[in-house]
């Protein structure tokens, strides 16, 4: 049989495809947020959807996160399936009461009689030159809270499959995208472009097989890990790269199996070090069966422990770069 068709699709188009397919499939799905309708989305993720689905399904909101997130949570409680876009996750702070106290806790506090099938999505973490109030990673914040599921895609396939799974899920899902990945094209298989393609929430993906060290990352740093792995391969070091995809529930089994094979662990994230995603992975490995396989302490590569500077050179030095990952791997391997 001929090889399956593979095409290049940007993360932006993959998200647009996922929204379009789910809006079409289920009339309870609707999108709301600032500039999502007439302007086609601040990042053009919702391009063409307002023209196709109209005012009832694609809703421009006032600049009031607390207000529109509250409307969305209420709608989800009466069994609509809202997709609530934050123009950046930093602005979800305006609505964190809705996300945590209303969405995340309602199912438990109602003994399962209220479910909240809602997706909160938008760009998370640093972009380029947008300073501290637009550059924070909220993976650890939202990953901390029971009642939420938290996904963090890297590739176009991740973006499409995870968004579709999130919309179909009967629980609140926080989807943390990267603004800097929106325009990046990735290969997408024919299967991934079908209307029934979903990626299960809570399952990591091994992006590269290796034998010497396990690299675990989510979102944009997965790409940095792939680049670092290519550099290190020239020096005879084979890295296994794991794309977490989901922050909560965390697929620690995939990491454990990899560490049992490579005996070394390096975690990479754009967020801050203290109480971060890497800290959680290291703790879980420490507490579990994989600890006995480690030949050296696990190493974390993170963003700098400072609010994001505005100046480009400072920003570059505040985020993990390929050279930082290479350095961390050599430290872990003692080479």
Catalytic residue list contains 264: no
268 vs 257: CA distance, rounded Å: 18
Catalytic residue list contains 144: no
| Active-site residue (options: 21, 34, 65, 157) | 65
| Active-site residue (options: 134, 218, 224, 264) | 134
Q: What are the residue numbers of the active site? A: 65, 134
């Amino acid at each position: 049989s001929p090889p399956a068709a593979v095409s290049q699709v940007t993360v932006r188009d993959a998200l647009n495809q996922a929204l379009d397919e789910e809006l079409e499939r289920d009339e309870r799905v609707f999108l709301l947020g600032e500039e999502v309708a007439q302007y086609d989305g601040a990042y053009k993720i919702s391009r063409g959807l307002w023209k196709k689905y109209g005012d009832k399904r694609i809703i421009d909101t006032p600049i009031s996160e607390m207000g529109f997130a509250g409307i969305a949570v209420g709608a989800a409680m009466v069994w609509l399936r809202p997709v609530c876009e934050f123009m950046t996750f930093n602005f979800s702070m305006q609505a964190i009461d809705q996300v945590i106290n209303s969405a995340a806790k309602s199912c438990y506090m109602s003994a399962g009689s209220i479910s909240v099938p809602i997706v909160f999505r938008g760009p998370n973490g640093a972009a380029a030159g947008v300073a501290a109030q637009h550059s924070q990673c909220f993976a650890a914040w939202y990953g901390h809270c029971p009642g939420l599921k938290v996904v963090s895609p890297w590739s176009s396939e991740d973006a499409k499959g995870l968004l579709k799974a999130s919309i179909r899920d009967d629980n609140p899902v926080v989807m943390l995208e990267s603004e800097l990945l929106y325009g990046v094209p990735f290969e997408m298989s024919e299967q991934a472009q079908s209307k029934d393609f979903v990626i299960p929430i809570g399952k990591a993906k091994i992006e590269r097989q290796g034998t010497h060290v396990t690299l675990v990352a989510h979102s944009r740093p997965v790409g940095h890990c792939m680049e670092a792995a290519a550099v290190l391969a020239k020096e005879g070091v084979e890295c296994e790269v794991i794309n977490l995809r989901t922050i909560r529930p965390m697929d620690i089994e995939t990491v454990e199996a990899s560490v049992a094979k490579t005996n070394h662990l390096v975690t990479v994230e754009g967020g801050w070090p203290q109480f971060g995603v890497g800290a959680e992975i290291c703790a879980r490995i420490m507490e579990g069966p994989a600890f006995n396989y480690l030949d050296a302490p696990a190493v974390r590569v993170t963003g700098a422990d400072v609010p994001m500077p505005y100046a480009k050179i400072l920003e570059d030095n505040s985020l993990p770069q390929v050279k930082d990952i290479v350095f961390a791997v050599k430290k872990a391997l003692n080479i």
